[in-house]
Structure 1
């Protein structure tokens, strides 16, 4: 990291020296100025020594309870280490520069930058509305959000000097690549590597077309998924794990629930008073709710009744809650489609609850069969244990081991 040492910093430190009354602080600030002015010729001296001396001066000011000086010295540190930008630094400390007016260049630069940015967003908004004349305000807003996420991956085509191109979907591609590369021990910075690849059409093309590259990405993704299942098994078998713990682990893994789900919806509160644990979307935009209950922390899932096993009230209450969610979605279908672009007419729900280990005297297959019988009578709601869900997800990996 380059340490900044310049005239603006020197002027500010001179102002600090005049602000402090404590001799120890004055001496510490003087030591900073002596070092700063010890450069050759007109150059000021920085380096880690400057940072260390500023930190020592800040400590002395705190010991003397000169907290306004502590703040000023902290700004000096932030400026020298690049955390505070030069225009802000110079504007804030005009009070140490006798008779100096505010720099109009800073105002003009901010105005021109804001004007150019607003012009860009205006043009993008007009273009979107020309292509989608019936778009809602929320759809336009989401379009802007997507553009903002893709902006860091701006491309500069070599055959179009002075022109730049925003490739839609670059942010999503980079995020996916980062998650894959994070399993590669030889990639030092997965996020940086993913961003570099996503910004390079050539790199993506080579990776996608090369047989070894495809195998590498597929193997890395399978490895990540196998590791996720192992982690989730451990969590589902932990009696102390809460619904929130399970939700946090599952909400970024839509593939676990089946290949028909492409992603998790951004909004969990679609109906007033109801907040869905995990909202999944199918390829056709249809919603599928996942209602999470505790795994090993749940009460019994089945009980004996007239020589047969039947679900307990724990299961029936969870199913009832899911059904109420679906009723709310049905009643608000039009608004949800217009506001969020989500179809709820054919929405369904999955209740994840309990673990076979809660019933050590009952075979796991027998427990699953009781729940499957219930599922045949509930139509839009399915009930599974965490173990059955993870077993199914593991089978989808085609034999990739999930344990070391």
Structure 2
């Protein structure tokens, strides 16, 4: 923009052009390039011509909006596996992708997004099997085979977990942060008598007691062989404990019993913890 002698302002657009190098490696940017200019109304005419010929580019903020929106969903845990694919497409389309990813923490966003999507897929698959009244324990085992994060702790290699004791085959053995063994025993989700009425109250049904008794025998066996297991595998069994995953309220046909599942199991769990 320049100032005219009469005090008015003049808008000038100056364009330089350079000749491409013969080898296709870029442009010859030495001084002496061709140059042309236009001013005031001619600039508007040029803009209208280019817009009609090539289309009007969207503002940068709008072009980056899809990328930023997908990143927001990833960060908030709303994104699924399909939206991660949208993130890849947005990376390809957004001209300011590097700046947007830098602002939002690119590496962490991508890692968190992939992990969250995988976890959501596992949870969805598990929920589908839980709703199936004919699903067996091995189906839950197959789903959770690589999803130990659902229980926390550190995963024990399969070769190790199958040789903890001679008689015991564990469903989900984990190692706590303090090095102690945490055993997860998986049972069916469809347990119609998950809780039963006993006098004026509800108590856990026979399948729950049977599963808990089974895990108590595991713990007794680990305690008896703790020195062997410690020396052979480096796993501490003296402070081992167990979690039983059994039943689901959806499969309890009696409405009154179904409404009492959570409270009954909570009372039973409190008793179990106090007895340790």
**Which interval holds the TM-score relative to the shorter structure?**
0.5 to 0.7
Q: Which residue is 1:321 aligned to? A: 214
Alignment of 1:305 onto 2:207:
no
> In the aligned structure 1, how far is the partner of 2:236 from the partner of 2:222?
9
CA deviation after TM superposition for structure 1 residue 252, in Å: 1.4
Structure 1, residues 179-209: CA drift from partner, whole Å, max 9, x if none? xx99954899xxxxxxxxxxxxxxxxxx9xx
Q: Which residue is 2:263 aligned to? A: 369
Which of 261, 270, 280 is 2:174 aligned to? Answer: 280
Q: Which residue is 1:247 aligned to? A: 141
SS of residue matched to 2:146: coil
SS of residue matched to 1:377: helix
Structure 1, residues 1-22: CA drift from partner, whole Å, max 9, x if none? xxxxxxxxxxxxxxxxxxxxxx
Question: Which gives a bigger RCO, structure 1 or 2 (Cα 8 Å, sep 6+)?
Answer: 2
TM-score (norm 1): 0.41
- Check 1:221–1:381 CA distance in 2 against 1; reply closer, same or farther (3 A cut): farther
Structure 1, residues 34-77: CA drift from partner, whole Å, max 9, x if none? xxxxxxxxxxxxxxxxxxxxxxxxxxxxxxxxxxxxxxxxxxxx
Give the structure with the larger helix fraction: 1
Which of 335, 346, 350 is 2:239 aligned to? Answer: 346
Give 1:285-296 correspondences, 5 Å limit.
Answer: 285-296=179-190
Q: Which residue is 2:14 aligned to? A: none
> In the aligned structure 2, how far is the partner of 1:362 from the partner of 1:252?
37
Which of 90, 100, 122 is 1:228 aligned to? Answer: 122
Give the structure with the larger strand fraction: 2
SS of residue matched to 1:378: helix
Q: Are 1:318 and 1:351, in contact at CA under 8 Å, matched by a contact in 2? A: yes
Structure 1, residues 183-236: CA drift from partner, whole Å, max 9, x if none? 954899xxxxxxxxxxxxxxxxxx9xx921111111121111111111110011
Structure 1, residues 223-275: CA drift from partner, whole Å, max 9, x if none? 111111111100111112110011111131111113xx122443134122111
SS of residue matched to 1:346: strand
Which of 332, 338, 358 is 2:225 aligned to? Answer: 332
- Check 1:375–1:275 CA distance in 2 against 1; reply closer, same or farther (3 A cut): same
> In the aligned structure 2, how far is the partner of 1:265 from the partner of 1:299?
35
CA deviation after TM superposition for structure 1 residue 295, in Å: 0.7
Q: Which residue is 1:131 aligned to? A: none
Structure number with bigger Rg: 2
Q: Are 1:301 and 1:312, in contact at CA under 8 Å, matched by a contact in 2? A: yes
Unaligned runs of 5+ in 2: 1-80, 89-100
SS of residue matched to 1:315: helix
Unaligned runs of 5+ in 1: 1-180, 189-206, 383-404
Give 1:104-119 correspondences, 5 Å limit.
Answer: none
Q: Are 2:156 and 2:175, in contact at CA under 8 Å, matched by a contact in 1? A: yes
TM-score (norm 2): 0.59
> In the aligned structure 2, how far is the partner of 1:183 from the partner of 1:373?
41
Q: Which residue is 1:262 aligned to? A: 154
Give 1:58-207 correspondences, 5 Å limit.
Answer: 185=85
Q: Which residue is 1:212 aligned to? A: 106
- Check 1:380–1:255 CA distance in 2 against 1; reply closer, same or farther (3 A cut): farther
Q: Which residue is 1:271 aligned to? A: 165
> In the aligned structure 1, how far is the partner of 2:214 from the partner of 2:145?
19
Q: Are 1:322 and 1:381, in contact at CA under 8 Å, matched by a contact in 2? A: no
> In the aligned structure 1, how far is the partner of 2:258 from the partner of 2:107?
41
Q: Which residue is 2:16 aligned to? A: none
> In the aligned structure 2, how far is the partner of 1:381 from the partner of 1:238?
34
SS of residue matched to 2:135: coil
Q: Are 1:290 and 1:351, in contact at CA under 8 Å, matched by a contact in 2? A: yes
- Check 1:287–1:218 CA distance in 2 against 1; reply closer, same or farther (3 A cut): same
